[in-house]
Structure 1
Amino acid sequence: MHFGFEREVQEERGWFSYLQGWCVHVADRLAYLDGIIQELKFCSNHMSEARLLVELRSGDAIVFVDSIIYFKAIREFEAEKLANLRLFLQASAAHPDRRMLFAARFNAM
């Protein structure tokens, strides 16, 4: 039984580590999206500088605004995902501690 409890603790720790890695991945994605949004805003606000980078046509300002809205929606979704992952991570952190406490009590018997 003791080894079974230890195995469960190891599995919980592995899951916890996976969640931490996923949080880092989503946070990196948020930073990437922030960069895209900033560049699009710059191009939208400074069309003359943007003309140097890309060939603009009439109506491209609307494309920039639509793109900004699109990437902001994705960013909001990713930010909500990160917040939920962090909540789940906090809840998951308690499980290995409880299992270790139970295993320690079981060993003391």
Structure 2
Amino acid sequence: MDNLVRLLELAYSAGSVSAVEIMRLGFQREVQEERGWFSFLYGWCVHVADRVAYLNAIIQELEFCIDDMSVAQLVVELRSDDGLVFADSIMYFKAIRDFEAEKLANMQLFLQASAAHLGRRMQFLARFNAM
């Protein structure tokens, strides 16, 4: 029943009962939905890439401080066991960064698949626009 309702809605929206017009409108909507999803996914990839860059900067600063404790002493008061705190912090941020980098790689693969899928839908739409 749901498919029949959708078909009737498409026919009404197309202003025609012609199968070509209904299919063209259906593919137009599919392309619009896929473009929206692609845009969202691309924005999320940019967000995660920014997060990876931010985590890299934190790790670099912590590694610099652990290598040169006199620089860290200018900013904070250090105790004898604070070197362990820096080392633990570096390991913690590296674990988060590695997780985010893996997530970004997977999202980029999904983005490529979505781009291919969008291309196929646009090809179908072009066929019906040519009719």
Compute the TM-score of the two structures, normalised by the length of structure 1.
0.94
* Secondary structure, counterpart of 1:57 in structure 2: coil
* Match runs of 1:12-31 below 5 Å: 12-31=34-53
Aligned pair count reads: 109
Between the aligned partners of 1:27 and 1:105, the Cα distance in structure 2 is 37
**Aligned equivalent of 1:38:** 60
Distance in structure 2 (CA, Å) of the matches to 1:94 and 1:36: 36
Secondary structure class of the residue paired with 2:79: coil
Supply the AA of the counterpart residue of 1:51: Q
The equivalent residue for 2:127 is 105
Higher RCO (C-alpha under 8 Å, 6+ residues apart)? 1
Q: Distance in 1 between matches of 2:70 and 2:64?
A: 11
In the other structure, the counterpart of 2:80 is 58
Q: Deviations over 1:22-51 (max 9, x none)?
A: 111011101100110011001111111211
Unaligned runs of 5+ in 1: none
Q: How far apart are residue 5 of structure 1 and its match? A: 1.1
Identity %: 74
For 1:103, the aligned partner's letter is: L
Aligned to 1:85: 107
Query: Where do 4+ consecutive residues of structure 1 move more than 6 Å?
Result: none
Matched, 1:71 2:93: yes
Using structure 2 for the length normalisation, give the TM-score. 0.79
One-letter amino acid matched to 2:121: R
Paired residue type of 1:15: W
For residues 11 and 55 of structure 1, the distance between their equivalents in structure 2, rounded to whole angstroms, comes to 55
Q: Which runs of 5+ in 2 are unaligned?
A: 1-21
SS of equivalent residue, structure 1 residue 42: helix
- Deviation (angstroms), 1:108: 4.4
